[in-house]
Structure 1
Amino acid sequence: MAASPSPARAAHHRRVLPRGRRVLDEHMPVHHKLSRVYRLGSALVGVILTFFGVLGLTDNIGFFDTGGDQVGGLSTNGALSVLSVVVGLLLFAGMVRGGNFASSLNITFGGLFLLSGFVNLALLETSFNMLAFELQNVLFSFVVGLLLLVFGMYGRVGSALPHDNPYWQQRHVDEVARARREHDRNEQRTRARLRGEELRRRASLFGSGEDGGAADDGDEGDGLDADGDGGQQGDR
């Protein structure tokens, strides 16, 4: 009956998927350096937006007041404050989950902030400026968007990613599978070589013991012969 593979080995092989079904592990280890970067980006921007939104809500500004009010040097109203708190909490959720989810969330919100900056730039000084944007809000939206994109794309986009990078492995499944097969073959050769050396060492130890025993038997035989000869001479 064939032995079932260990859970660790089974999990190792589950990561190698055929072409067309390349799925990146959603849950990177907590200590993974990429996951730490994504968490940091989500937490940093989430704190800023939540703080900005809470301060705006405490001022009791009108929900769609286009005149707005100043909070931290930025114009805001009730709608923008609520939106800021919601986005900040979503980024906190990305910080908690980490991994590929946090990266994708940062990229998504980064693109939305950039889009918001361009849209609200066009709506300045119009009656459609429902979020009470001013020029400083547009610049802030651009800065936050770029910051989220940098954090979200770190280690994910580039032409010189290291081969232990999970995103590089996702895009080069065939090479990863070939490297793992070669690694397994090398491990098998190493184990076989170590096993052969151990068997030769044991054989040499047992062989030395047998030679020593044979030598002792020969010495005892010579002693008996000598005694026998002495006895015969005494009889004579």
Structure 2
Amino acid sequence: MAHNPVNHPARPIYRAIGGLTGIYLVIFGVLGFIQNSGEEFFAQDAALVLGQGTNRGYALVSVAVGALILIGTGIGRNLDAAINKLFGYLFMLLGLAELALLRTDANFFGFSIVTVIVVMIIGLVLLTAGMYGKVGTEEQHRAWQDARLNL
């Protein structure tokens, strides 16, 4: 898509932000798994970790997603941009779904409203990092510049 920036001057910063988001998810997941040890996997009355409601199921998902983001950040080569975009969209979808299920018996990740807000912010951060972290050839960069200037 010609409207997404290619070789953006701030792409190393966005790549670092994506990596920091992955580190946060891993730390949150590990702390959540430790805090909820002995509980049901999808307990709804889960403990608070870093001010957010979570259970062992969401903690495990956080560790897995955070590790994938870190692996993508380490490899680079536009894999990080694709992973960040994918998980950005998925986190936004998860936040909306959990917002709808917040006070029901279907709140299987034990979310609180704070967790929904944090998940939505993580989704937006990952989407931004994915959109601005793409690397390409000079030809692709010129096409992006032309599309940007001809709007």
TM-score scaled by structure 2?
0.80
For each residue in 1:56-111, what CA deviation from the matched residue of structure 2 results, as whole angstroms up to 9, or x when unmatched?
11121421101111000000101011000000100111111113110111111111
Q: Does 1:144 align with 2:122?
A: yes
Instruction: Look up the match of 1:204.
Output: none
Instruction: Look up the match of 1:127.
Output: 105
Contact 1:65-1:132 at 8 Å conserved across structures: yes
Instruction: Look up the match of 2:16.
Output: 40
| Counterpart pick for 2:140 among 170, 185, 193 | 170
> Aligned residues, how many?
135
In structure 2, relative to structure 1, the CA distance for the partners of 1:108 and 1:93 (3 Å cut) is same
In structure 2, relative to structure 1, the CA distance for the partners of 1:167 and 1:129 (3 Å cut) is farther
Amino acid at match of 2:113: L
Structure 1 residue 37: Cα displacement: 3.5
Contact 1:35-1:99 at 8 Å conserved across structures: no
Q: Does 1:104 align with 2:82?
A: yes
For each residue in 1:170-197, what CA deviation from the matched residue of structure 2 results, as whole angstroms up to 9, or x when unmatched?
3867xxxxxxxxxxxxxxxxxxxxxxxx
Backbone CA RMSD of aligned residues: 2.4
**Which ranges of structure 2 fall in alignment gaps of 5 or more residues?**
1-6, 144-151
DSSP-derived class of the 1:140 partner: helix
| Counterpart pick for 1:53 among 15, 29, 51 | 29
Instruction: Look up the match of 1:69.
Output: 47
C-alpha separation in 2, matches of 1:70 and 1:94: 29
C-alpha separation in 1, matches of 2:131 and 2:44: 35
The structure with the largest helix share of the pair is 1
Instruction: Look up the match of 1:21.
Output: none
**Which ranges of structure 1 fall in alignment gaps of 5 or more residues?**
1-27, 157-164, 174-236
Structure 1 residue runs of 4 or more that deviate by more than 6 Å after TM superposition:
none
- Mapping of residues 10-25 of structure 1, within 5 Å: none
C-alpha separation in 2, matches of 1:167 and 1:66: 49
Q: How many percent identity over aligned positions?
A: 36
Amino acid at match of 2:19: A
Amino acid at match of 1:110: G
Structure number with larger C-alpha Rg: 1
C-alpha separation in 1, matches of 2:133 and 2:69: 19
